Chain A
Amino acid sequence: MLSIDPTRTDLCEEFKRQPAGRHSADLHRLLDLMRWGYARGKTIILCTVPHKEWRLAKMGPRRGSKVQVDNSRVFHDHDDAVWACFRARWKEMTGRDCPVE
């Protein structure tokens, strides 16, 4: 029940098409699971240039520790960064790569 079905590529495609707004009930449930609990320890998004540039990152173990920034990819569209964050969370939760590129 409280897990992501890794075969549901349709939900990945739905999120990629429309990251915000009205979602199907199954995608809503999936996103609730992805967003449950503290963000510390999970992949987050860091805006590196306001309105122009984003990267993925992870917070350290507590306030006052350095944020680990993934400099291997730079996103110039916010939706691209959100999609990359979704894919990273998918892997963190299922142990598998997100089936949709």
Chain B
Amino acid sequence: MSERLLAYTDKLSAKPGDLIQVKVSSPHSGKYRARLVRMICGDDSADGPGFKTEPVKGVAESEHAARFQPVPLGSYAAIKDRKGFALASFSLAAFIWPTRLDKGEAQCILGNWDAANASGYALYLDAQGRIALRVGESAPVTLEAPLLSRHWYRVAASFDAKSGRVTLAAHRQLPYAGNPQRQIARGKAAASTAANRFLIAAWNDGAKVTAHFNGKIDSPAVYAKAQPIEALLLPPGSRGALTPRQAVAAWDFARDIPGTAVIDRGPKRRNGQTVNLPTRAMTGWNWNGTEMNWVHKPEHYGAIHFHDDDLYDCGWETDFTLRLPKTLKSGIYCLHLTQGDLEEWTPLFVTPPKGKATAKLAFLVPTASYLAYANHQMSTSWHFDELSSSRFTTFSQADLYMEEAGSLGLSTYDLHNDGSGVCHSSYLRPILNMRPKTDLWQFNADTHITDWLEAKKLPYDIITDEELERDGVAALKRYACVITGTHPEYYSERMLDGVQDYTNHGGRLMYLGANGFYWRIAWHPKLPGVIEHRRSEDGMRAWWTETGESYMEFTGEYSGLWRRNGRPPNMLAGVGFSAQGFDVASWFDRMPGSNDPRAAFIFKGVGQNERIGDFGSVGGGAAGWELDRADAALGTPPHALILATANEFPASYHWVKEEFNHSHSAVNGDTCPMVKADLVFFETPKGGAVFSASSISWAGSLAHNGYDNNVSRITENVVRRFLEAKPL
């Protein structure tokens, strides 16, 4: 397997004077060196502005002992109490909806089994996908036939220590001809009363946690005696079923859905905690379509979907701490770690001191969008990846590492190993595509903007999505002008409100990208550094939510497109996502709006018939990758000026699917007039304004010809006017 030096920090965004914890893993022992640099441009390609960093005064280079730290993939729930589950006789029951029966390894449903010393007990799926029970060192008792994937089953087991009798059963919710709905097996075992950790969706292997379950578990319960199997198979709450009061523990996953607690409704309150954020607010065994929002009927959302590749927090030990100088200038910084031939660049976004602005201009770094894409493995998640990109799959060394390692935690663009969509993404792990010297996408593409700001000697502060989420408009209102990144795609309600309040109260927004303000996300209200997204209803979706699972567990909000939440991007930016393609980029032609006197300042020094941006390091043009267009029907303000339009795109560009309600073939650049980008300007209340570039590749053209080109000129004309106090 390829090797990497890996690191992450406890914070992604920090302010001068903050203490940063740095967590590092190396495949080798020995020492690695660490230094902090200011990142100007991360594009190391021959076509770009060049890789540029600056040294940082006041932070000494340091050397540290290298060590390996593992990535603990897989979610589960751990119950705090152990002794209560050290039972001679017991019964276990749960509803399950298994999703990876072909894994070829054991997947534990619940129990306190420890594989390291063959003690305790567990109800689990065996390597053949059959329900099994094992007790201590006894041979497992197993049902005859494997279960069916993505079907609800009631599964149960009882064990009587005195007789040694094991009874095991699975009852499928759906009847099929020729496929028995119920299986029962009987066998013998000897008791094992070790007080191991009690886990749901995994088992112990000494101190490690293994045998992660893939799929949903609903209403797991433990009883102290060998209960009749017929009673165990009855759904909770039905006549003759066992009650929580009779239970050692009976967990109700419909409680504390936004949190990490698993709540026991039994008399001893044997609560636990989920680990690595399995997906909650999942439709349960009894969901019947009468309610789509878990907030309104949580009793139908008593399932948690566990995955063997969930990851919230690597939980690595801190290798060293770094105190940021109190005088550190706001900007993008990177920890540069080196060990022999290995190197790692870990970004850190340094804001100004709290409550202060040190420039009139802010660069709003779209860290939520960086997280949405963090460590994506689209080429193995998507069957349509090459058709979408019009390229053969091309692995970078980072892609190679993640493919061979299995994962470093997935992105919201991916499918879990069981084929279900990934809803969570955090920064408490190394993120290989949020680095300089990577593809020109998100983080690295956005350094074309910092590079240009530095080249034009335009002082700027860094504000990230975390400050926007925390402070709302207060994070922006000190600035005359706010510049976005190239692809600020993922917005929570508070973030969107913050930017909208800013432009509604005299702020000037330069949206230097495309497909922004598109998807609705939530930040976790308590856990740091993690977002949630559900790909509901419509849009250019990497995957789609299961029916009834479109409301986010963190907040209860409906996820999916902002357009489907009543706030199309056009309402804020004047434009919204129209098309995408990833093989070549195009240019803009001036439109009549560019000759409106209101736009004269924008086109100062630009010829009437000049093609705008028929050059650049991202696809060879300023109009490319993802494109936005104006549309009054979607909320583009009536006075917005369409300054320029790009509409020369090949068939590799595709119209976004939320814009057509019926399938047909005229949906690409060769055939569809909606495949275009509109450069737009409009004034906002109280002297504010919005300029939208409407193209992800716009920033890739800024540096062309030593920053002397019409994309750079238009951008500079706008930013210098937007920084003036005079109302627009």
Are A and B genuine complex partners? yes
A59 in the interface, Cβ–Cβ < 8 Å? yes
Residues in A neighbouring B391, C-beta threshold 8 A: 20
Top 7 A-B residue pairs of the complex, sorted by shortest distance between their CB atoms: A64-B406, A35-B386, A22-B650, A39-B393, A20-B583, A44-B393, A45-B394
Contact status B387-A36, CB under 8 Å = yes
Contact status A21-B380, CB under 8 Å = no
**In whole angstroms, what is the CA distance A39 to B384 when docked?**
9
Contact status B380-A38, CB under 8 Å = yes
Known pairs A63-B403, A63-B407, A65-B404; A50 contacts B393 (CB<8 A): no
- Those of A28-62 within 8 Å (CB) of chain B: 28, 31-32, 34-40, 42-48, 50-51, 54, 57, 59, 62
Set A35, A50, A54, A63: member contacting B377, Cβ < 8 A: A63
Nearest-neighbour CB distance to chain A for B474, whole angstroms, equals 41
A4 in the interface, Cβ–Cβ < 8 Å? no
Residues in A neighbouring B385, C-beta threshold 8 A: 39
**In whole angstroms, what is the CA distance A59 to B380 when docked?**
9
- Chain A residues with a Cβ closer than 8 Å to the other chain, count: 36
A85 in the interface, Cβ–Cβ < 8 Å? yes
A23 in the interface, Cβ–Cβ < 8 Å? yes
**In whole angstroms, what is the CA distance A89 to B393 when docked?**
12
* Chain B, Cβ-Cβ closest to A49: B397
Contact status A39-B437, CB under 8 Å = no
Contact status A40-B380, CB under 8 Å = yes
Known pairs A21-B584, A36-B387, A44-B392; A67 contacts B377 (CB<8 A): no
B527 in the interface, Cβ–Cβ < 8 Å? no
Contact status B400-A67, CB under 8 Å = yes
**In whole angstroms, what is the CA distance A15 to B125 when docked?**
50
Residues in A neighbouring B387, C-beta threshold 8 A: 32, 35-36
Contact status B417-A63, CB under 8 Å = yes
Encode contact with A along B308-320: 1 for CB under 8 Å, 0 otherwise.
Answer: 0100000000000
B-to-A contact residues, CB < 8 Å? 1, 44-46, 309, 377, 379-380, 382-383, 385-387, 390-397, 400, 403-407, 417, 437, 583-584, 650-652, 670
Residues in A neighbouring B392, C-beta threshold 8 A: 34-35, 39, 43-45, 82, 85-86, 89
A66 in the interface, Cβ–Cβ < 8 Å? yes
Nearest-neighbour CB distance to chain A for B670, whole angstroms, equals 8
**In whole angstroms, what is the CA distance A93 to B550 when docked?**
39
Contact status B394-A47, CB under 8 Å = yes
Nearest-neighbour CB distance to chain B for A93, whole angstroms, equals 13
**In whole angstroms, what is the CA distance A62 to B382 when docked?**
13
* Chain A, Cβ-Cβ closest to B46: A51
Contact status B404-A66, CB under 8 Å = yes
Nearest-neighbour CB distance to chain B for A76, whole angstroms, equals 13
**In whole angstroms, what is the CA distance A20 to B390 when docked?**
8
Contact status B650-A23, CB under 8 Å = yes
**In whole angstroms, what is the CA distance A42 to B383 when docked?**
12
Set B309, B377, B651: member contacting A28, Cβ < 8 A: B651
Contact status B405-A45, CB under 8 Å = no
Nearest-neighbour CB distance to chain B for A32, whole angstroms, equals 6
A-to-B contact residues, CB < 8 Å? 20-23, 28, 31-32, 34-40, 42-48, 50-51, 54, 57, 59, 62-67, 82, 85-86, 89
Residues in B neighbouring A59, C-beta threshold 8 A: 380, 403
Contact status A51-B394, CB under 8 Å = no
Residues in B neighbouring A44, C-beta threshold 8 A: 379, 392-395
**In whole angstroms, what is the CA distance A65 to B406 when docked?**
7
**In whole angstroms, what is the CA distance A31 to B178 when docked?**
44
Nearest-neighbour CB distance to chain A for B242, whole angstroms, equals 40
Residues in A neighbouring B44, C-beta threshold 8 A: 50-51
**In whole angstroms, what is the CA distance A80 to B394 when docked?**
13
Residues in B neighbouring A51, C-beta threshold 8 A: 44-46
Contact status A31-B390, CB under 8 Å = yes
* Chain B, Cβ-Cβ closest to A38: B383
Can you spell out 5 A-B residue pairs with CB atoms less than 8 angstroms apart?
Answer: A34-B386, A39-B385, A47-B395, A51-B46, A67-B403
Contact status B383-A37, CB under 8 Å = yes
Nearest-neighbour CB distance to chain B for A7, whole angstroms, equals 23
**In whole angstroms, what is the CA distance A65 to B407 when docked?**
11
Given contacts A31-B390, A34-B386, A63-B380, 20 further A-B contacts (CB under 8 A): A39-B379, A39-B386, A39-B392, A40-B380, A42-B393, A44-B395, A45-B394, A46-B395, A48-B397, A50-B44, A50-B437, A59-B380, A59-B403, A63-B407, A64-B404, A64-B407, A66-B1, A67-B404, A82-B392, A86-B392
**In whole angstroms, what is the CA distance A46 to B394 when docked?**
6
* Chain B, Cβ-Cβ closest to A36: B387
* Chain A, Cβ-Cβ closest to B386: A35
Contact status A20-B394, CB under 8 Å = no
Contact status A23-B437, CB under 8 Å = no
Contact status B400-A46, CB under 8 Å = yes
**In whole angstroms, what is the CA distance A65 to B104 when docked?**
15
**In whole angstroms, what is the CA distance A36 to B383 when docked?**
7
Residues in A neighbouring B670, C-beta threshold 8 A: 22
Known pairs A21-B583, A21-B584; A47 contacts B651 (CB<8 A): no
Nearest-neighbour CB distance to chain B for A73, whole angstroms, equals 15
Residues in B neighbouring A36, C-beta threshold 8 A: 386-387
Residues in A neighbouring B382, C-beta threshold 8 A: 38
* Chain A, Cβ-Cβ closest to B395: A46
* Chain B, Cβ-Cβ closest to A62: B417
Known pairs A35-B386, A39-B379; A50 contacts B396 (CB<8 A): yes
Nearest-neighbour CB distance to chain A for B211, whole angstroms, equals 16
**In whole angstroms, what is the CA distance A34 to B46 when docked?**
30
Known pairs A23-B651, A64-B404, A64-B405; A47 contacts B583 (CB<8 A): no
